[in-house]
Structure 1
Amino acid sequence: MSNVHAPQTLYDKIWNSHVINPKDNGLALIYIDRHLVHEVSSPQAFEGLRLAKRRVRRPDCTLATVDHNVPTSIRAETSLESLVTEPESRAQCIALENNVREFGLAYFGLTDRRQGIVHIIGPEQGFTLPGTVCVCGDSHTSTHGAFGALAFGIGTSEVEHVFATQTLLQTKGKNMRITVDGTLPPGVTSKDVILHIIGVIGAAGGSGCVIEYAGSVFREFSMEARMSVCNMSIEAGARAGMIAPDDVTFDYLRGRPLAPKGEAWDRAVAYWRTLKSDEGALFDVEVNISASHISPTVTWGTSPQDVVPITGCVPDPTTVIDPLKRSSVERSLAYMGLTPNTPMQEITVDKVFIGSCTNSRIEDLRSAASVVIAAGPDVKVPPSVHALIVPGSGLVKSQAESEGLATIFRRAGFDWREAGCSMCVGMNPDSLAPNERCASTSNRNFEGRQGAGGRTHLVSPAMAAAAAITGRLTDVRKLMNPESGVNFSTTTSKVDLSSGPGFPTELVLPPPSSNVSPATSTPQDVPAPAESATPVAEKFTVLTGLAAPMHLRNVDTDMIIPKQYCKTLKRTGLAVGLFYYLRHDASTGEPIDFVLDQPPYNTANILVSTGENFGCGSSREHAAWSLKDFGIRCVIAPSFGEIFYNNLMQNSMLPIKLPMAVCEALADDAKGGLELQIDLEKQEIRRVHGETIPFTADPFRRNCLLEGVDDIALTMLQGPLIDDFEQKRSANWPWLDGFGYKGKKILVAAEKKANLDW
């Protein structure tokens, strides 16, 4: 473990303590302590292991569940096959069950009362712990940073990398601190705080950064409120969000099934108390916000940065000076069906969704129920509104029922559901129809995110409950009754599952049988991969071709490929879904005139975007796969969503960051039908009139692309270094070695190999 004596930020401390092998330009091989797995981003990763005859290195540090595809209606059936009726969704769920059996992973299946959204069950079980590096094939892994963990989403190729090596190759980001001090006004919750922050700094405001949230407001938040804030860090473009652990953190974790016990607990807490930014630690970016400036907040557009106070109005694009931003506002208003200057409280809703990994914990449900109580015993959800309440896990559902919350919701006309991602992503039966408008506690309001043509307004659980009762976006403060003693904030109530159903500890799936495949052999049985560094991926050297121009800001991954095309077990065949709702009408399915369907751009192998933050949003690697399947090998943009940027390189594709003015010039070349030549060896773009434009690429990634090398194989050559790190890790942090669900420690001791460098 590294010992750095200069003042360090919380991020610095966790990063430095997890570096196994530093490389040049900030790239490092870092160790992963916790890996969460779900059914959408894992099938291709498991298949990669199987084809390479590799095992999961640390089953004891891996936890899997199904969440994205599962139905949330009452589950009368008892088998996954009968519960999940949609064929492609069922195939992904069955594939996960088969894979966890084959590779010997802990798993909460659909009929397990612990099943739920992956970012709910990790903290709930004590699998998420301070000081750890936690990853998942899901962009909202930043949720776990609320515990003082470095937690971030990864793509499927990186999921496979963690499976095989328990490490990742990462470039250290910048330190950003957002401080919110003061007292929040009545009716303002953690969701309003993070929406306000994103509105202030923008959807790309945290690009290249890990955000530490500091100040009195976050100190006073409960763990559940902190998780909601960190959850949406990715919506500000950040790699991760973190809050230093304290007594609130420790009280939450104490006694949970996978948290340390006894002497190990005392030792862990002593270490966790050191996890805070040192006095004098330097931050690259500082943002300070007064709590008194934050109001109950709602989104109006198709990006989480499109926010106004609920007392505000729909913006007027004619007041926006920048033409690209003005065009973006006009596009959003057209999609949302809104007229400029309309008061937000005059906007009626068709559906209300309370759930998602942002707001489906017990405190969120308590907050929503308090609004229903304050509105009065006779108040009902109007017939024009369908209001869904979807708990984040089976345990949250049980506790809400034991506290009487479910009864409150049902009596008021809410639809009480089973656990799952539900309408947040719309990969299951819960979705919006074209032009339906929803007040949603989820994290994204992208075009089509909750259903093709669906219109989403992001709000807090309290605001969502108010909208359900009134049938329109409503200032929740109008329903607040000071004499009732009801508090709509999620900052005061303490979660105590022991007062509800308790923590079940039984295994659901049996341990792997003795006739397992080579991929699940014990570490001592796994030979070093033969010819590990031989080229196995497609090379990228010089690319010559036509570029297709795009003039959109914040092109998100849901826009690149809608979620229905992510229900696949393969990496190919996805070109049909590429920019589907830019190429087809959401209501009729009829083709729309789009650049990639116009000759000669229908044969383009380069994409030039003049808008920033290309590929923001989800970690789903399907966005990269769909571009590659179409024939795109290089994407040029002013800036990228970081996970998407990594996913391109993992698929032998080259992302290039250039100033916006240069991107605009290259887009003009594309409009004129002029070819570009991308030379990765020389790191330059050559235009037809002779000008060369230099660009930079990470040396290691560049070499992998030039040579077509599998970076998993290269990492496995670092086996001795990883072994040595694991031994020190077990000595320093023994509580991180998995104890499973039967109290039996899973031993990991990899065979020593020759120390070879990359």
Structure 2
Amino acid sequence: MPAPVSPPRTLYDKIWDDHIVDVQGDGLALIYIDRHLVHEVTSPQAFEGLRNAGRPVRRPDCTLATVDHNVPTSSRKALTTVESFIAEPDSRAQCMALEENVKEFGVTYFGMKDRRQGIVHVIGPEQGFTLPGTTCVCGDSHTSTHGAFGSLAFGIGTSEVEHVLATQTLLQKKAKNMRISVDGQLGEGVTSKDVILYIIGIIGTAGGTGAVIEYAGSVFRGFSMEARMSVCNMSIEAGARAGMVAPDEVTFEYLKNRPLAPKGEAWETAVTYWKSLKSDEAAKFDSEIRIDAAEIIPTVTWGTSPQDVVPITGSVPDPSTFTDPVTKASAERSLKYMGLTPNTRMEDITVDKVFIGSCTNSRIEDLRSAAKVVLAAGPEAKVASNVVAMIVPGSGVIKQHAEVEGLDVIFKRAGFDWREAGCSMCLGMNPDQLSAGERCASTSNRNFEGRQGSGGRTHLVSPAMAAAAAMTGKLTDVRKLVGAAPHDSTSAKMKVVNARDFLTEEVVASPLPQSRQPIASDGSTTLPPSETPSSVEKFIVVKGLAAPLHIENVDTDMIIPKQFLKTLKRTGLKNALFYTLRKDPTTGAETDFVLNRKPYDAAKILVVTGKNFGCGSSREHAPWSLLDFGIRCVIAPSFADIFRNNCMQNGMLPVILPQEQCRELAEDAEQGLDLEVDLEKQEVRRPNGKASFSFETDTFRRHCLLNGLDDIGLTLQKDDSINSFEQRRSAVWPWLDGFGYKGSKIPVAPVSTRKPKKNDW
């Protein structure tokens, strides 16, 4: 009898199926996490949770930590200690907390004195920690970057960071499959950044909600790994859970001989497996979009959402032409914030600052692309007199690489500020910030209000376009400056050096925990009782005043600005909620925003009439601030996936209702009437005998909320299943086990004895 033929599967299906530890009746799966990246902003509360519960980090060998968001990018020549170098107290506290936590729990760490330190989504691929076929998470929404390697990579909140540290698993509901294909030939001056901005402009910031996007077609096949990473990085800006590109020879060539990639026989075995990681020809996708590459030209944002894009040859749109009232109001708000008038030509907009960096565009190829534009402007060309321009490499390794290639000389000679590695002005949690009213051409990923500094105005562009803006003093079509496409990073004037020449450090084992029992030689851990008490408050029925909010695409930076993220606790964030809407940016006085007005300052429920509430970051601070204010439930037409999950991790209920019903509830709220949200019956009860509205919630999440259950405690009841999975994983994919785990060791890359020399120019 012939063996049954398995149905055709997508790339996402295959990786998902390979990582299932357990599946519940409602389809919620416990999946194993192969790679966990940790940074200083979203981890303090997670480590504190482990400490309070007496739990170890289950798999230190699969965990890698660095500091990036808070670190200054000024010269580190005088650096002796983090304590003395970082001036801002809260930033210093978060960085020092991570240093102490990695020592206490035994986690590999690239600190500020380590040249491998850098942006978390740069160092993972750079070191070969990111591998095809893996699941990869981090307390940062742009973890989607790692999907460029054929990895299922996504951002998580702090509660889930703690869950992964404790169990090496996550509870997840399988997403839908979406494929975006771009075929044809990209035109002159068009880069991967233009491609992803164009895609987001088509599908919107909620276009990928509930889905994992696979990028396919000849354009992505022709992209380098750096270009693929830039595209996958911004998948979250399209609302997707993750973005992926099937691994191929480009992927394998990039990873070969990197420090944490498999070596020798393990490499050959791994590549054989990786070659199977592609969507079957007959695989079904829930949605598909096809784009002709010839349609894309250099692209720039005009508003305060990544979907607010136009070609550089275009103009600022006129909100009066928009038909939807919420969309129209949002556009009017964006233009007011950006200081722009309708129909202004994009190329007439002057800039004050230029930022080239971030986890989107800080790799060596990005720097080469920008340098090529600078060279094209002429040997004596300087940054425009009205512009301050800065280059921030994504890691210390990239910085050294660029200096050996002489890129720093090109930039500094033209008047750019050449800086140390870090997130820098992408989100302005460090000293690199915009002042109120300053306009920036930025290679980062978000143009939210206040993202790069309170009152700062951001236009998202490619590195080539940013360099063009720096040299001309305004947003400029890069095609006017160069005669060859910037995505071709080589040039007759630029000698290229191999990245592997700079990956010379030997791989070492994670340090043993300083105050904990080390993991036993068989990989087992001593775990606390599964009934560990939970701090999550039960949610059964919440009755109270509802506050109406008529804004769409309410992002996490709007919910809680970045200056309030520098906390080591989950509480004390009440006054930070919607801070930029509740406070006048000039005087600091309270505005007429709804949550400042009585009786809404005591609201327990927030009713939002616009779609896609909670888009943006994976940080859990947004629901923490809502809870601190007293809001236990948010009702909206749709939510960003990560925000919705973060709410339920904290005893808070996100309710999805049709937009028309949300508008009716907002009318009730505007009359000062109470609403009643009943999770047990799954209905929203209205006042004055009006008909109730029904909603649906995941069975497991509903059960946890009703009973105030601890996810980690529940997962630890399945420890036998996790152990069994780990045994199979070690047998089938042994290259995923690190030093100190079941006697397994990662073969070390040969250490280069040749010192890179700076090129002559």
Q: Which amino acid is 1:125 matched to?
A: Q
Distance 1:679 1:502, change over 3 A: closer
Shift of 1:531: 5.4
Asked whether the 8 Å contact 1:354–1:464 carries over to 2, the reply is yes
The yes-or-no answer on 1:26 pairing with 2:47 is: no
Q: Secondary structure at the match of 1:170?
A: strand
1:95-174 aligned at under 5 Å gives the runs 95-174=97-176
Deviations along 1:518-538, whole A, 9 cap, x unmatched?
597888785442351655421
Distance in 2 (CA, whole Å) between partners of 1:583 and 1:335 is 15
Match of 1:709 in 2: 709
Asked whether the 8 Å contact 2:258–2:500 carries over to 1, the reply is no
Q: Which amino acid is 1:171 matched to?
A: K
Asked whether the 8 Å contact 2:369–2:489 carries over to 1, the reply is no
Shift of 1:319: 1.1
Asked whether the 8 Å contact 2:56–2:516 carries over to 1, the reply is no
Percentage of pairs with the same residue: 70
Match of 1:362 in 2: 364
Asked whether the 8 Å contact 2:108–2:510 carries over to 1, the reply is no
Of residues 267, 270, 292, the one that matches 2:269 is 267
Match of 2:751 in 1: none
Match of 2:755 in 1: none
Q: Which amino acid is 2:321 matched to?
A: T
Shift of 1:78: 2.1
Distance in 1 (CA, whole Å) between partners of 2:255 and 2:510 is 27
Distance in 2 (CA, whole Å) between partners of 1:566 and 1:21 is 34
Q: Which amino acid is 2:35 matched to?
A: R
Q: Which amino acid is 2:396 matched to?
A: G
Distance in 2 (CA, whole Å) between partners of 1:215 and 1:744 is 38
Shift of 1:564: 0.7
1:600-619 aligned at under 5 Å gives the runs 600-619=599-618
Shift of 1:490: 5.1
Asked whether the 8 Å contact 1:230–1:241 carries over to 2, the reply is yes
Match of 2:455 in 1: 453
Q: Secondary structure at the match of 1:210?
A: strand
Distance in 2 (CA, whole Å) between partners of 1:469 and 1:383 is 9
Shift of 1:79: 1.3
Shift of 1:588: 3.2
The yes-or-no answer on 1:588 pairing with 2:590 is: no
Asked whether the 8 Å contact 2:140–2:155 carries over to 1, the reply is yes
Shift of 1:586: 2.4
Match of 1:623 in 2: 622
Distance in 2 (CA, whole Å) between partners of 1:362 and 1:548 is 48
Q: Which amino acid is 2:239 matched to?
A: G
Shift of 1:740: 7.5
Of residues 386, 389, 412, the one that matches 1:387 is 389
Asked whether the 8 Å contact 1:54–1:518 carries over to 2, the reply is no
- Structure 1 stretches of 4+ with a deviation exceeding 4 A read 490-500, 518-526, 533-536
Shift of 1:506: 6.1
The yes-or-no answer on 1:544 pairing with 2:539 is: no
Q: Which amino acid is 1:213 matched to?
A: Y
**Range with bigger deviation, 170-179 or 72-81:** 72-81
Distance in 1 (CA, whole Å) between partners of 2:181 and 2:524 is 51
Match of 2:750 in 1: none
Match of 1:751 in 2: none
Distance in 2 (CA, whole Å) between partners of 1:397 and 1:524 is 37
Match of 1:643 in 2: 642
Asked whether the 8 Å contact 1:535–1:707 carries over to 2, the reply is no
1:397-476 aligned at under 5 Å gives the runs 397-476=399-478
Distance 1:497 1:570, change over 3 A: farther
The yes-or-no answer on 1:311 pairing with 2:305 is: no
Distance in 2 (CA, whole Å) between partners of 1:130 and 1:697 is 33
Shift of 1:81: 1.2
Asked whether the 8 Å contact 1:104–1:520 carries over to 2, the reply is no
Q: Mark the runs of 5 or more structure 1 residues left unpaired by the alignment.
A: 747-758
Shift of 1:192: 0.1
Q: Secondary structure at the match of 2:26?
A: helix
Match of 2:758 in 1: none
Match of 2:71 in 1: 70
Distance in 2 (CA, whole Å) between partners of 1:581 and 1:309 is 30
The yes-or-no answer on 1:724 pairing with 2:724 is: yes
**Range with bigger deviation, 732-741 or 609-618:** 732-741
Asked whether the 8 Å contact 1:612–1:639 carries over to 2, the reply is yes
Deviations along 1:259-310, whole A, 9 cap, x unmatched?
0000000000000000000011000010010000000000000000000000
The yes-or-no answer on 1:489 pairing with 2:490 is: no
Q: Secondary structure at the match of 2:300?
A: strand
Shift of 1:512: 3.3
Q: Secondary structure at the match of 1:725?
A: helix
Q: Which amino acid is 2:98 matched to?
A: L
The yes-or-no answer on 1:576 pairing with 2:578 is: no
Distance in 1 (CA, whole Å) between partners of 2:519 and 2:582 is 44
Match of 1:41 in 2: 42
Asked whether the 8 Å contact 2:548–2:607 carries over to 1, the reply is yes
Shift of 1:585: 2.1
Asked whether the 8 Å contact 2:538–2:706 carries over to 1, the reply is yes
Q: Which amino acid is 1:258 matched to?
A: L
Match of 1:753 in 2: none
Deviations along 1:713-743, whole A, 9 cap, x unmatched?
00001000000000001111000001389x9
Asked whether the 8 Å contact 2:187–2:485 carries over to 1, the reply is no
Asked whether the 8 Å contact 1:63–1:105 carries over to 2, the reply is yes
Deviations along 1:379-421, whole A, 9 cap, x unmatched?
1012321001000000000000000000000000000000000
Distance 1:499 1:258, change over 3 A: closer
Q: Which amino acid is 1:408 matched to?
A: I
Q: Which amino acid is 1:732 matched to?
A: V
1:653-668 aligned at under 5 Å gives the runs 653-668=652-667
Q: Which amino acid is 1:70 matched to?
A: V
Asked whether the 8 Å contact 1:434–1:587 carries over to 2, the reply is no
Give the alignment's Cα RMSD to 1 decimal. Answer: 1.9
Match of 1:752 in 2: none
1:273-292 aligned at under 5 Å gives the runs 273-292=275-294
Match of 2:598 in 1: 599
**Range with bigger deviation, 3-12 or 432-441:** 3-12
Q: Secondary structure at the match of 2:74?
A: coil
Deviations along 1:158-195, whole A, 9 cap, x unmatched?
00000000000001110000000000000000000000
Distance 1:562 1:528, change over 3 A: same
Asked whether the 8 Å contact 1:226–1:243 carries over to 2, the reply is yes
Distance 1:744 1:52, change over 3 A: same
Aligned residues: 738
Of residues 171, 193, 214, the one that matches 1:212 is 214
Asked whether the 8 Å contact 1:221–1:491 carries over to 2, the reply is no
Asked whether the 8 Å contact 2:26–2:700 carries over to 1, the reply is no
Q: Which amino acid is 1:567 matched to?
A: K
Deviations along 1:133-154, whole A, 9 cap, x unmatched?
0000000000000000000000
Shift of 1:581: 0.2
Shift of 1:487: 4.1
Distance in 2 (CA, whole Å) between partners of 1:331 and 1:163 is 41
Shift of 1:14: 0.4
Q: Secondary structure at the match of 1:705?
A: helix
Q: Which amino acid is 1:489 matched to?
A: H
Distance in 2 (CA, whole Å) between partners of 1:409 and 1:603 is 53
Q: Which amino acid is 1:263 matched to?
A: E
Q: Secondary structure at the match of 2:132?
A: coil
Distance in 2 (CA, whole Å) between partners of 1:274 and 1:578 is 47
Distance in 2 (CA, whole Å) between partners of 1:410 and 1:735 is 42
The yes-or-no answer on 1:221 pairing with 2:223 is: yes
